[in-house]
Amino acid sequence: MELKKITEHIYYTESNTEVDRPVLGYILGDKFSVMIDGGNSANHVLAYNHALAEKGVRKPKYCIVTHWHWDHTFGMHALDMETIACCKTNEELHRMSLWDWNDEAMKQRLISGEEIDFADEHIRAEYSKLEDIKVVPATITFDSKLVIDCGNITCECIHLSSAHSDDSVVIYIPEEKVIFIGDIYNDDFYNNHHRDLKKTEKLYQELSRIDFDIAVAGHSKPVRKGDILNFLSKFL
């Protein structure tokens, strides 16, 4: 894993489709640094920390989570920092923290519809031992918006509309005109890939009003603002 530079203060790691490891972000402030998304396992976090060490940058003080899905949150227990999430995200993390993690329990959740095949397949690919899975809630929560001053760099955590997941959060860095959007533009994997067009239209309007140039998505390389808006507009 390599920490790739977008600006002097913003970096990201590339995603891994084989085990569904999403992009992780790094925001370098004068006072402290911030991690974006918690990774899908302790091994993912370990690789991230190694990439930070290779780049010679300090470890983050906070981790901000974009939404509750396993690939963005199952590494949170291995983070040596405070974690930040939307209140709706924490509700889902509390729910999953009560789950048993073994073959039988996971198969039963597929039958009940609590889990989907795509997630189940990639969880099993990432974890050779299912009992290593540990889900924890965030230590800090917010409702609609939280602003963090990192020292000459600001992280604006904003809850926006999304067809993908109702708890979706973007992290906007106005000084750099960069925004981390997680999977906010996707459809709903947990509802047969249904796309709520009203939520999509609202997201389009909300993103249009934010002054950014580069969007860092959860499972692809960074793209221009126009590319994201053009993608969303195809559904409208």
Domains of the chain: which residue ranges? 4-233
Overall average pLDDT of the 33-49 stretch: 98
What confidence score (pLDDT) does residue 1 get?
92
Which option is the CATH number for 4-233: 3.40.605.10, 3.40.50.300, 3.40.190.10, 3.60.15.10?
A: 3.60.15.10
The predicted model gives 104-117 an average pLDDT of 97
User: pLDDT by residue (tens digit) across 64-89?
Assistant: 999 999 999 999 999 999 999 999 99
DSSP state of 170: E
Q: Tell me, what's the pLDDT at 169?
A: 98
Output DSSP code: residue 60. Answer: P
Question: Given CA atoms 201, 206, 212, 217 in this order, what sign does their dihedral have?
Answer: negative
Tell me the mean pLDDT in the region 13-40: 97
What is the β-pairing status of strands 62-64 and 82-86? parallel
pLDDT, residue 191, reads 93
**Predicted pLDDT of residue 177:** 98
Phi-psi region of 152 (alpha: psi -120 to 50; beta: other; left: phi over 0): left
Mean pLDDT of 91-119: 97
Query: Of 209, 220, 128, 135, which is closest to residue 174 (Cα–Cα)?
Result: 209
Q: Taking residues 59-63, what's their average pLDDT?
A: 98
Please give the mean pLDDT across all residues of the chain.
97
Joined tokens for residue 4 = 């790739």
Q: How far are the Cα atoms of 45, 63, 68, 76, 206 from residue 72, in angstroms, in the given order? A: 11, 11, 7, 8, 23
